[in-house]
Chains A and B, each alone.
Chain A
Amino acid sequence: MFTLYRRLGEIGLMIYRFFLLIVVGALFFPATSKAFTFTGQSRTYLQARETISGENLTPLYEYLDFKIENVGSADVSFHFGGWARADLTGETLGKKTNNELQYAYVSYRRPTSNAIVSAGRLYVFEGVASEQIDGLYTRTDLKGAFGVAVYGGSPVETDVNTRSGDSIYGARVSYELRGTYVVGLSYLKEDDNSADFREEEGIDLWVKPGAKVLLQGRSWYNALTSGWMQHNYHLLLGPFDKLNLNVEGSKVSYGDYFQSATVSAFTFPSIDPNETVSAVGLGARYTISPSLIGIIEYKNYEYDLAGGADYYGGGITYAASSGYGAGISLYRMDGATDNLKYGAYRAYIRKKRGKTDATLDLLHVAYDQAISGVTDAYTVVGALGHDMSAKARVVADLEYGRNPDFDNEVKALLRFVYRFGAKAR
């Protein structure tokens, strides 16, 4: 009976094609085409860089995204995002060209109850799911403050095997008392070639018991290993005059959390399945003045097996309406052994004047233990931007680096952004 879900991808594709046909068809109908809104953005990047082996790369990237909305009288829309790359010299990651379809879906929204149906390649962020799928997604508010989201199709992930016959499906049910709390229960199932690959269940929480308290969090359970993957809770307190505080606690059980990894950096035994990490973080943000903000942070990691670690530091940022912006930050990572310790320091300054802006960014990472005989990594970034019009912007930047891999590393990037239709971010 569950072959049904494998079909969802195909059903999604059918619906997607059907709506796409309508959208494209309607575009050519003068009577309806007036009603369209077409907005989007083109981003072109030309990068020049050198690889560790000394090869010069100049990849040219084109990122395109757009949406066509208000097709006909119903609220039907088409959304697209993707990029393509061609190398003018060298080969990036062993390929002269590459491309990615990030999303392409049709969507129908109802004017009431936040009801949406989407079909095609799309992102799903629903509780345990933060996925890219080829398939079908639908959500709606129900009576009595309940909400439901359901999706199914095939997963879009790095190929590990032929992965034919993959499927992914799941749902999230939520109950919301607007402004007070939201509780969500979610479920996700992914099959790899009809074999169980992931089966995850989750609880997510958003609670605002008082004006100055917000608790957010989530717990994910791995039904295949029968163990909790992670608990992650975040408490936000404030503002108390100019002070805001946050406390974060998390616990991750590696054996349950990394079970479905497909890259060797995260598979066992590179990751120890018996390890568990508990982390506690504390942070304070102080608004010295509306344009001047100070932050201090501390995070402690305790492991069942390995030695613990501390990460702490802080910084000050300045942002003035006159167009000046600046920031400094100092952080320290104190792992159990010398090869897990570093200090990371940064200072930047930015100035916008009229249509032109300039940025200078300095970064320094100081390793306690030398990597390839080098203890310091320096990066200097300079960027110059110019708004040619409300729709077009050009930025040129140059990055100089000295680090364990390079004595002198120079990277340059030229970016041209063009927005068409109404302004979209």
Chain B
Amino acid sequence: MTNTFIRLLIPVLFAAAFAGFVSCATHTSMAKRHPGNMQPGQLCSDCHTDWRVTQNHTADFAVRHKFLAARQQQVCGMCHVETFCADCHANKEELKPSDKFKDAPERIMPHRGDYLNQHKIDGKIDPASCFPCHGRQNNERCKVCHI
């Protein structure tokens, strides 16, 4: 069975990861802090021309950043601390992200305005889009009505 195979593979990968620590690749790690001074509203392409321009925080970044997040530990972490992500990706969060940033109307925030009514439609049309944030966590509020 492939599953048994994968389960057996995991300890091997653990070993590989630790082996990597001790020897393997020797290139310099990415900086801990981003060396440039990026201001809100700026694009990566204002200063970079290589692969980094694909991380341009344009308006569609709200939908797109999930594809890049596997680099969270290195790339995103140069500019963002986890709290930044936790405003939207949380377990027990009680404040709507948009309530915390009323002074930043240009940011792409889920659930602006009165969402308790609109969610009945969005949730019916595309429940899969809600699931990563509310499916197994951050759903105390939902349980008031969705018992």
Q: Which A residues contact B (CB, under 8 angstroms)?
A: 2, 4, 41, 43, 45, 47, 59, 61, 63, 65, 67, 69, 75, 79, 81, 85, 92-93, 98, 100, 102-103, 109-117, 122-123, 125-127, 130, 132, 138-143, 148-150, 155-158, 169-174, 178-179, 184, 187, 189, 199, 201, 204, 206, 208, 214, 216-218, 223, 230, 234, 236, 244, 246, 248, 252, 254, 257-258, 260-266, 270-271, 277, 279, 283, 285, 293, 295, 301, 309, 311, 317, 319, 325, 327, 333, 335, 339-342, 344, 346, 348, 350, 357, 359, 361, 363, 365, 367, 371, 377, 379, 381, 383-385, 395, 397, 399, 401, 403-405, 409, 411, 413, 415, 424-425
Contact = CB atoms under 8 A, between A and B. Distances in A.
A171 B13 contact: yes
Contact of A100 (B28, B92, B139): B92
A111 to B, nearest CB: 6
Nearest to A377: B114
A140 B20 contact: yes
Q: Which interface class (under 10, 10 to 19, 20 to 34, 35 or more) fits B?
A: 35 or more
Interface of B: 2-3, 6-7, 9-11, 13-14, 16-18, 20-21, 24-30, 32, 41, 50-51, 54, 58-60, 63-64, 66-70, 72-74, 79-86, 89-95, 99-100, 102-106, 112-114, 116-118, 120-128, 130-132, 134-144, 146-147
B94 A93 contact: yes
Contact of A261 (B27, B41, B60, B136): B136
Given A81-B83, A157-B137, A265 B142 contact: yes
Contacts of B93: 100
Contacts of B105: 325, 327, 348, 350, 359, 361, 381
Nearest to B21: A115
Contacts of A158: 91-92, 136-140
Main secondary structure of the interface of A (DSSP, over half): strand
B121 A335 contact: yes
